[in-house]
Chains A and B, each alone.
Chain A
Amino acid sequence: MNHVSMRIDGVRYDDDVEPRLLLVHYLREVAGRTGTPVGCDTSNCGACTVLMNGVSVKSCSVLAVQADGAEITTIQGLANGEWHPLQRAFHEEHALQCGYCTPGMIMAAADLLRDNPRPSEQEVRDGLEGNLCRCTGYQNIVRAVLRVAGEMAGEQAGAAS
Chain B
Amino acid sequence: MIPARFDYVRPGSVEDAVRALAGGGDDARVIAGGQSLLPLLRLRLAFPDLLVDVGGLSELRGVRETAGSLEIGALTTIYELTRDPLLTAHCGLLAETATLIADPAVRHRATIGGALAHADPAGDLPAVVLALGGSLLIRGPEGEREVRAGDFFTDYMTTSLSPGELLVAVRVPRLGGDWGFRYEKFRLTAQSWAIVGVAAVARRSNGHVAEARIGLTNMGSVPVRATAAESAAAGAEASAAALREAGSRADEGTSPPSDLRGSADYRRHLARVLTGRALAAAAGAS
Contact = CB atoms under 8 A, between A and B. Distances in A.
Are the chains A and B members of one assembly? yes
Interface of A: 2, 18-20, 22, 41-44, 46, 49, 52, 55-58, 60-63, 65-66, 68, 108, 111-112, 115, 126-127, 129-131
A42 B42 contact: yes
Given A20-B41, A66-B53, A111 B105 contact: yes
Contacts of A22: 2, 38, 42
A62 B104 contact: no
A60 B3 CA distance: 11
A49 B41 CA distance: 19
B39 A58 contact: no
A43 B39 contact: yes
Given A19-B51, A130-B191, 7 more contacts: A20-B6, A41-B1, A43-B35, A43-B39, A58-B106, A61-B109, A62-B34
Contacts of B191: 44, 129-130
Q: 3 tightest CB-CB pairs across the interface, nearest first? A: A130-B103, A19-B8, A129-B190
Contacts of B1: 41
B7 interface: yes
Query: How many residues of B sit at the interface, in one of the four size bands?
Result: 20 to 34
Given A57-B105, A58-B106, A129-B191, A20 B39 contact: no
B285 interface: no
B43 to A, nearest CB: 8
B157 interface: no
Contacts of A18: 5
Nearest to A112: B104
In this complex, which of A18, A57, A66, A126 has the most chain B Cβ atoms within 10 angstroms of its Cβ? A66
Given A108-B104, A108-B105, A130-B104, A2 B8 contact: yes
B182 to A, nearest CB: 18
Given A18-B5, A19-B8, A42 B39 contact: yes
B4 interface: yes
Contact of A127 (B5, B6, B51, B104): B104
Contacts of A46: 103, 105
A27 to B, nearest CB: 15
Contact of B38 (A61, A108, A131): A61
A56 B104 contact: yes
B55 interface: yes
B102 interface: yes
10 contacts: A20-B41, A41-B1, A42-B39, A49-B105, A55-B108, A60-B42, A68-B10, A108-B104, A129-B103, A129-B190
Contacts of A65: 8, 10, 53
Interface string B1-26: 11111111010000000000000000
Contacts of B105: 46, 49, 56-58, 108, 111, 130
B34 A19 contact: no
Given A2-B8, A65-B8, A66-B55, A43 B106 contact: yes
A61 B41 CA distance: 10
A131 B102 CA distance: 11
A57 B6 contact: no
B228 to A, nearest CB: 35
Interface string B65-92: 0000000000000010000000000000
A20 B4 CA distance: 7
Contacts of B41: 20
B35 A61 contact: yes
Contacts of B8: 2, 19, 63, 65
Nearest to B42: A41
Nearest to A20: B3
A58 B51 CA distance: 20
Contacts of A57: 105, 108-109
B102 A61 contact: no
B31 to A, nearest CB: 8
B8 to A, nearest CB: 3
A55 B83 CA distance: 15
Nearest to A54: B108
